[in-house]
Amino acid sequence: MLGVSTFHSTSLKTPSHSTTTRLNPTFPFSISISPSFNRSTTTKPLTIRAIDAAQSFDYESKIALQFHNSQKLKIAIIGFGNFGQFLATTFVRQGHTVLAHSRSDYSAVAQNIGVKFFPNADDLCEEHPEVILLCTSIISAQQVLLSLPFQRLKRSTLFVDVLSVKEFPKNFFLEILPNYFDIICSHPMFGPESGSSGWKGLPFVYEKVRIGNNETRVSRCEKFLDVFGREGCRMVEMSCADHDRYAAGSQFITHTVGRVLGMLTLESTPINTKGYESLLNLVENTSGDSFDLYYGLFMFNKNSLEMLERLDLAFEDLRKQLIAHLHDVVRNQLFEDAVKVQNLGDDSNHVARKHGQNGSAIVLSSKNQRSNGSGQSDDSTKLKIAIIGFGNFGQFLAKTIVRHGHKVLAYSRTDYSDVARELGVSYFNDADDLCEQHPEVILLCTSILSTEKVLKSLPVQRLRRSTLFVDVLSVKEFPRNLFLQHLPPYFDVLCTHPMFGPESGKNGWKGLPFLFDKVRVGRDESRISRCDLFLDIFSKEGCRMVEMSCAEHDWHAAGSQFITHTTGRFLEKLKLEATPIDTKGYETLLSLVENTGGDSFDLYYGLFLYNINAMEQLQRFDLAFESLKKQLFDRLHGIYRKQVFQNEEKVRDFPERSMLPEKSEDSSVVSFSNTVDAK
């Protein structure tokens, strides 16, 4: 309260016209106000005095403090390893009291976090924690629970698990725990790695298995769940059975793929695609988890064996698909060769059309020969580029090339004249007409399988002899050899591979790798300049320019691009779908399936058929998958074998009973082992 008063000198009488007002009858002083108050008088100035101003608010503050404290829990973490410490950090930050117990001594770590560590479980339970949080491994969870001294806990204690499978802990909780304990089965779908930047948006799955009707127990359950809700988790209430069904199709698949790829010892390459980088991240995230965690996902989720079998069948189906295509190619080649041999015998004119009289290749007449000039357009900084194969990828490149001011011509088996007109490209239905325009660059944007056929069909005699041929195929040694074999030596050759496409490059090409090998470029300054001008298109777009031999590219690509497409392809056969409990790793796989599924099978088959390293990578993938299955089944066999031998040891504890009589040294006496003396 505030008291306001004026004080007068004791020697000064109060004027008769002064007015005295008492604000509070209990207040010892009064306020005296004189109407003729003058600054020159000896009256003391107005004084503000305070007495315990917060006194009237003490009750409200105490109530607020009590409410604040009522929202805090005493949580005991059983199993204070990496994940237990990860959760404890957030619990402490939110103001909860955290106790911990573990087989290993984590007292120093606990002290740093602000947690009280108990080496003895009895001591911890005597502290009467409101929540017992089980953070052990799946394999040891049941054994740890059985070892806890339940009798030292309050009978209303809430038990919670955070295991990656849910039906298994639910069943052993209900079997082992007395019915006066509450139970929540939960699964934070993140860990120290994926949740290092916060938990916002990450799924937290839970089922209230058994919660008492008492208001305090219901409230305590909500307070525990609110720990994760306050951090921004996506709270998903779901039955344990539904969780395990979804998890087998997402989490188990994610860990299986990550472990298979981990066995391949994948490494970053100079030509990483976005898809390959996502696989490297997947390997890094899953490799940090113990094999026990992965084995637990397999052993204690009844849906996991089915998913493993589906994975196996999908990979086997993909391999058969590749081999079947390879068989068709070899078969067609054999039949084509047989037809050619027959035609050679039947039609001598066929040979005459292909070769000169002496059997050598026909040399172009001087009439059809073109000048050896560079053929550059009037503007020396702009090129006339002809795109052969104006499908999805050809159109994708054309947009950027046109934007750079270059003149673009196009030819394709399919009529894309309307699309070309919209892009500002001159379209030709006849390859001869296009070649007579003397483009400076011929850019081959065909599929890998049709490249040789298209190249052979081009009327190269109508081009200038200095024309630059460029390909953009996903393999490099094959087109390189094709160019050198079928193109006259006066043509320049540049082998390239933009390591992106319409999907991955839709937001720009900055930082995306563009590989190239100047296979054959004339020494003439204009031809060197033309090659550099073409490469500048990609350089100016911000591409990461990587000059590399075709052989080196194919070696790297087999270990990155082919593996990426193989993973995406066999996962596509599983018909994976988004679930309410998707992890970041599973979302990576879904994105990979979407990206690779957009490419034709011919592209993938071309990566396999025309890269000499691809078969080795397919075999390594197969061996890695078989090795992982062997690890799982060996562990499973070990557990079963241990159980069998334990049963045998129990049998041995009983008296042995011989099935046949034994003869003593006196052959006339027959005795039975373990029989009671007749006496």
Q: What is the 3-state secondary structure (H, E, C) of 131-151?
A: EEEECCCHHHHHHHHHHCCHH
pLDDT at 365: 32
The Cα–Cα gap between 479 and 485 comes to 10
Residue 430 tokens read as: 């006849």
Q: Is 30 exposed, middle or buried (0-12, 13-18, 19+ CB in 10 A)?
A: middle
Question: In the chain, what's the furthest Cα-to-Cα distance?
Answer: 148
Closest CA to 451 of 480, 494, 431: 480
> Are 671 and 664 within 8 A, CB to CB?
yes
- What is the residue-wise DSSP string for 259-270? HHHHHTT----T
> pLDDT value at position 335?
64
Q: What is the pLDDT of residue 524?
A: 93
The residue count for the chain: 679
CA 388, CA 431: separation in Å to the nearest integer?
Answer: 9
Backbone φ, ψ for residue 664 (5° rounding): -85, 175
Tell me how far CA of residue 539 lies from CA of 384, 468, 492, 542, 543, in angstroms. 18, 18, 20, 5, 5
Supply the pLDDT for residue 336. 60
How far from 27 is each of 22, 24, 51, 385, CA to CA, in Å?
8, 5, 11, 99
Instruction: State whether the Cα torsion 322-325-329-334 is positive or negative.
Output: positive
CB 592 within 8 Å of CB 576: no
Q: Containing H/E element for 217?
A: helix 215-230
Query: Residue 337: its pLDDT value, please?
Result: 54
Backbone torsion region of residue 82, taken as left when φ is above 0, otherwise alpha when ψ lies between -120 and 50, otherwise beta: alpha
Structure confidence at residue 249 (pLDDT): 82
Residue 124's region, left for phi above 0, alpha for psi from -120 to 50, else beta, is alpha
pLDDT at site 534: 98
Domains of the chain: 69-237 (3.40.50.720)
For the chain, the distance separating the N- and C-terminal CA atoms, rounded to the nearest angstrom, is 108
Rounded CA-CA distance 172/297 in Å is: 16
Question: Distance between CA atoms of 100 and 124, rounded to whole angstroms?
Answer: 8
Q: With a cut of 50, list the residues of the chain below it in pLDDT.
A: 1-41, 65, 341-342, 344-377, 651, 656-679
285 token code pair: 């995230």
pLDDT at 167: 95
- Dist. CA 125–CA 153, nearest whole Å: 5
CA 47 vs. chain centroid, Å, equals 71
Sheet with strand 513-520: strands edge to edge: 426-428, 407-411, 384-388, 441-444, 468-471, 492-498, 513-520, 544-547
Closest CA to 201 of 581, 576, 577: 581
Task: Label residues 255-294 b or e (16+ Cβ within 10 Å = b).
Answer: bbbbbbbbbbebeebebbbbbbebbbebbebbeebeeebb
